[in-house]
Every structure is written in structure tokens, then in C-alpha cells.
Structure 1
Amino acid sequence: MARAYDYLLGGSHNFAADRALARQMIAAVPDAKVQARLNRAFLHRTTRYVLDQGIRQFLDIGSGIPTVGNVHEIAQKADPDARVAYVDIDPIAVAHSRQILDGNPGAIAIREDLSQPRAILDHPAVAGLLDFDRPVALLLVAVLHAVRDELDPYGALATLKDRLAPGSYLVIGHGTHERHPDEFQEVAAAISRTATPLAMRTHAEILRFFDGFEIVEPGLVWAHEWHPDASDEQPSELSAFNYGGVGRKP
């Protein structure tokens, strides 16, 4: 899925099978590429937002391939000392990420699973890069909808949130079937053959992930509606597939 997403964004780190999956998604949702760009724009805006709040450490889980305008580019442009730890379950995505990040001492990529949060937090590379006694931005953009309920995503996120210092931020982008259930079901059917099938959740279920955090205005909204920039691409009605929100740990 990480490599199919890379294809939708116009990246080059993907294979024929990934492009075939992406084309199935486009067949179900013709503006899938637009949605991918809107989702990436949400990631950009939230990264800039937490940078403006003084955050200089980022834990990006489900990061995919950091090649098309990703977090380390934005964060280290604002502050060369910013630190970014990327985490993904896909070994090929992680291998590509390490090649891209080679020679960058402030950014790493590890292979771990969101459903195993302690393995992420206690990983030597993460522990050596991030100081969890200081605020961290935990980014979960387009990953929680790939963690089924039987893998206890709420429990996994609770473990991650407990490790964060006060003043940390939580950024979530999560797909939903609420606006377009038929189209979402077709996409889910295509992705079901991958290692990360989709988990359908409602607005209320996604909002639960922010328990214990103060939600930043305007709350959990369609991702393209969260603090939009004037220069942002204008979405079509069909593009309402992803909720986005930001929370702060008091």
C-alpha cells in the first residue's frame, strides 16, 4: 500500500504490482490521485502547524516512502536540527527510505508495526534520536485505517500517547466510508489482498483516538478543510474520504 500511495502521489519508488493496485483504486474512485495529494497537503499543513508551536521532534508512523514533500524536508528546512523518525511495516518502503535519508543524521527509518508500539518506542534508533522527555509530534496520517480492531489500535495508540511529554501533538488522518460507502467498499476490496486491509471507522470512532488530548480547532474535519491554504488544490465532492485532526497533550 505504501508503494501504491507513492504512485498516486507521482513518485517513482513503486513496482508494476503497486501500480496495478493503484489503478484498481482509481477505477473505484476516479479522483484517487487528487485524494492522495489532498492527504499529503494535510500532512504538510499539520507539520508546519506543529513547527509553529515549537515542536522539533517527529515520530511519523506509517510514513511510507519519504520522497514527495515529506516531513523531514519541511521540518529541517525550518530548523536544520529538527529530528524525524519514520516507521513503516513495508520492508521495501523502509529500504527506499534509508537510501533517501543516507547522510542525514537527523532522520531515520525503521521497520516496525504500529500494533507493536513498545517495539517502536524502545527501538535503539528511535530512542537514540528522539528525546521523549521533550514534546514530540506523533504523526499517524493514513495508517490507522490499515489497523483492524482485532489488532487493538486504541490500545496501541494509548501506549504511544503515554510516552509523550506534555505539550506533544498528535496528528491523525484517517479514511472513512461515511460519505461514499459504495466507493469505499470497492477500494477496500482491492486493498484487502494486501498485508494492510482497510478498517472502516466513523467520525466518532476516529475521534476516540484523541482521548486525553485537547483537540485543536476546527476539530476532526475533512482533511482538506483543516486550516486550508489559499493555494491548496480544490477537491471534488468525491474527495471526502479522509478525516483529519490535531490534538495537544495537556
Structure 2
Amino acid sequence: MGAYEVVGRLMDALAPGSYLVLPQGSPMPGDNSITADVIRAYEGKGIRMAVRDERQIGRFFEGLELVDPDIVMAHRWKPGDERAEAEAVEQFILAGVGRKP
């Protein structure tokens, strides 16, 4: 069973009004070598990692109501946080929140 199916089954079992909060590693724009290095580092520790672009992440939220600011860089969920802004330079993590109708 793949990630989309696992999340879909989880959401099916939850009550209306429940939320899905999903951070997801995403490819670094313009530099595939950094993305490949990150994947190798995780896999070297025995952790299976998948990176997904915004469209692929959006599939997790099908049937849910996306909460503003939708799917964005994770630090944008807490604007004005200088520490989060600084850490975001080193990471490319997208995040979204969806509500089950």
C-alpha cells in the first residue's frame, strides 16, 4: 500500500471536522544534487524517504478543504518567526493543513 492510500484510509476513518497536517520534503529547486544527497543521507540511516512536489503533495488533500495558506514552505505557517526563516534556507519542506468536510 502506498502513501496516498495509507493517508486516504486514515482520513476515511476520522470524523468530519478532523484535520490532516502534512509536512513533506520537496525537491530543491534547480539543484537535483542536493535533493539526491538528502535522500542518500536518510537512506544511509535506514530511513526510506520520498520527496514530492507541490502537485504530488496536493494529492494527499483530495476531498479535504485546504486551510490558508494552502501548501507552502513550512516556515510560512508561522510568518515573522526569524528562526524559522533562517532554518528554511537550509531545508525545502512544504506543508499543508486540510479539514475533512
Q: 1:191 to 1:164 in 2, by over 3 A?
A: same
Query: Which residue of the other structure, out of 146, 149, 166, is the alignment partner of 2:16?
Result: 166
What RMSD in Å do the two structures reach over aligned CA positions? Answer: 1.9
Q: 1:160 to 1:212 in 2, by over 3 A?
A: same
SS of structure 2 residue aligned to 1:171? strand
Deviation at 1:166, TM superposition (A): 0.6
Tell me what 2:51 maps to.
Answer: 200
TM-score (norm 1): 0.37
TM-score (norm 2): 0.85
Runs of 4+ in 1 over 6 A off after TM superposition: none
SS of structure 2 residue aligned to 1:155? helix
Tell me what 1:241 maps to.
Answer: 92
Tell me what 1:209 maps to.
Answer: 60
CA contact (8 A) 2:28 2:34 kept: no
2:31 aligned with 1:187: no
Query: Which residue of the other structure, out of 53, 62, 71, is the alignment partner of 1:220?
Result: 71
Q: 1:155 to 1:248 in 2, by over 3 A?
A: same
Deviation at 1:247, TM superposition (A): 0.6
Between 1 and 2, higher relative CO (CA 8 Å, sep ≥ 6) is seen in: 2
Larger of the two Rg values belongs to structure: 1
Deviation at 1:194, TM superposition (A): 3.0
The amino acid of 1:206's aligned partner reads I
Q: Distance in 2 between matches of 1:214 and 1:186?
A: 34
SS of structure 1 residue aligned to 2:89? helix
In structure 2, the gaps of 5 or more residues are none
Tell me what 1:29 maps to.
Answer: none
Deviation at 1:236, TM superposition (A): 6.2
Q: 1:232 to 1:176 in 2, by over 3 A?
A: same
In structure 1, the gaps of 5 or more residues are 1-150
Deviation at 1:159, TM superposition (A): 0.6
SS of structure 1 residue aligned to 2:49? coil
Q: Distance in 1 between matches of 2:100 and 2:14?
A: 8
CA contact (8 A) 1:210 1:247 kept: yes
Q: Distance in 1 between matches of 2:74 and 2:4?
A: 21
Deviation at 1:240, TM superposition (A): 4.4
